[in-house]
Amino acid sequence: MGIDISSGGGLFGRRPTRAGLIVSDVVEDRRGVDRVGSQARAVTTPFWDGLLTGGLSLVGMSAILLYIAFGGEVGFVEANWFALAILINSPHFMASYRLLYSSAAEIRANPWSTIYVPAALVAILGFCFFAARPGALVQWLVLISSIYLAWHYTGQTWGMVASFSHLHGVRYSDRERFLIRSGPRSLLVLHVLFALTGRLPPGGYIAPDTYVAAYSAVFVATCATIGASVIAGGWAFVSAYRRGEQIPIQVILPWASLFLWYPFWYFVPGGFFWLQLSHALQYLAFPLRVEVNRYSEAAPRTPGQRNLWALLLYAGLVLVGAVILHGPPIAAHAFGDGWYSTPRAKVLLLALTTCIAIHHFFIDGAVWKLRNPRVRQSLFSHVETRTPV
């Protein structure tokens, strides 16, 4: 989820601001924020916000990397953790579709995400279905998705930092904001390098030895830049704190955990699967919060009703995601091999899930724009003051 708040006014009204200071990408508006208790400034609750958006992955991945550093051996086989993919990763894809296609107005407001891009992807899927050998095209789709994923993962992390900063009224200078974002941007380059691992440029445009040498040099330079960005971003947070900004842990955890995701992917066999789950955990709380807020705005709801609605919605997303994204593997496990488990069927399922992923990344840019008043209202209405000003 790459939350874009590059323009627009604040959420809670207007008060004078210090020159040159911004909340994430927007000038802070804090009238009403000061009347909202700190415990209310959360997407879920302060504890669950911190746990889901970075705390859990930070602790878990650190422990495993330390274990490996001291001589331990760890590896993961994704098939052994199939249930977690269904319970965590699949619903985070389905949640974005529910948000985007929830109303005719949303569809009309985002024609590229709701009509044009999915139409192009359906055309590609149709070509794959009728092609005698769709494997080569599907591999290109996977490469495009892998590179696009770099923007998606790192953009979502900045979105978490920006959202919680906005929610808590934390203001950054232009320099601080640039330095904090330098880390995710450097990791974006590293992600692209990981996606290109084992691939040579098509058509022999460059000699393999030259390409490998250039790749290695860029890899080393990127790692050095990432190391510097950790220090720079940390300094930016400290600088904001020294100016008097009260930075909650929920702001820092997503940023800090991202620096562990990529070493975990690099050093732990099968580690990328856990990046997927960590990313999905970050994301899920946000669409569920939007759904609960919309449900609460329709009529007065008790806390129990809101929690039940979130639980039922989550269960529905799990069910739909399991059928669409994991139907053939589930069928093979339940009924044995069939037409759905042939090599061709597996290639076509990979094409389907890859196109869904690409569309999900594109949806992200349409749904999560805090400059859109409807998005701000949907995401933060539970913390807005309703006392007349």
SS3 244: coil
Biggest CA-to-CA distance, the chain: 69
Residue 15 belongs to a domain: no
Query: Which residue matches tokens 């990328």?
Result: 272
Number of independent structural domains in the chain: 1
Residue 188 belongs to a domain: yes
Q: Identify the residue with better confidence: 26 or 2.
A: 2
pLDDT in tens, 237-284: 999 999 999 999 999 999 999 999 999 999 999 999 999 999 999 999
Asked whether the beta carbons of 360 and 93 are under 8 A apart, the reply is yes
309's CB contacts (< 8 A; 6+ apart) are: 291, 292, 295, 301
pLDDT in tens, 272-316: 999 999 999 999 999 999 999 989 988 889 989 999 999 999 999
Rounded Cα distance between 70 and 185, Å, is: 30
DSSP code for 20: T
pLDDT band at 29 (very low <50, low <70, confident <90, very high): very low
Residue 1 belongs to a domain: no
pLDDT in tens, 126-179: 999 999 999 999 999 999 999 999 999 999 999 899 899 989 999 999 999 999
Domain extent at residue 218: 21-383
Cβ neighbours of 389 (radius 10 Å): 9
Asked whether the beta carbons of 112 and 367 are under 8 A apart, the reply is no
What is the model's pLDDT at position 310?
Answer: 94
Residue 85 belongs to a domain: yes
Cβ neighbours of 350 (radius 10 Å): 17
Residue 7 belongs to a domain: no
Rounded Cα distance between 109 and 256, Å, is: 35
The answer on pLDDT for 372 being more than 90 is no
Asked whether the beta carbons of 159 and 368 are under 8 A apart, the reply is yes
Cβ neighbours of 318 (radius 10 Å): 16
Residue 229 belongs to a domain: yes
Residue 62 belongs to a domain: yes
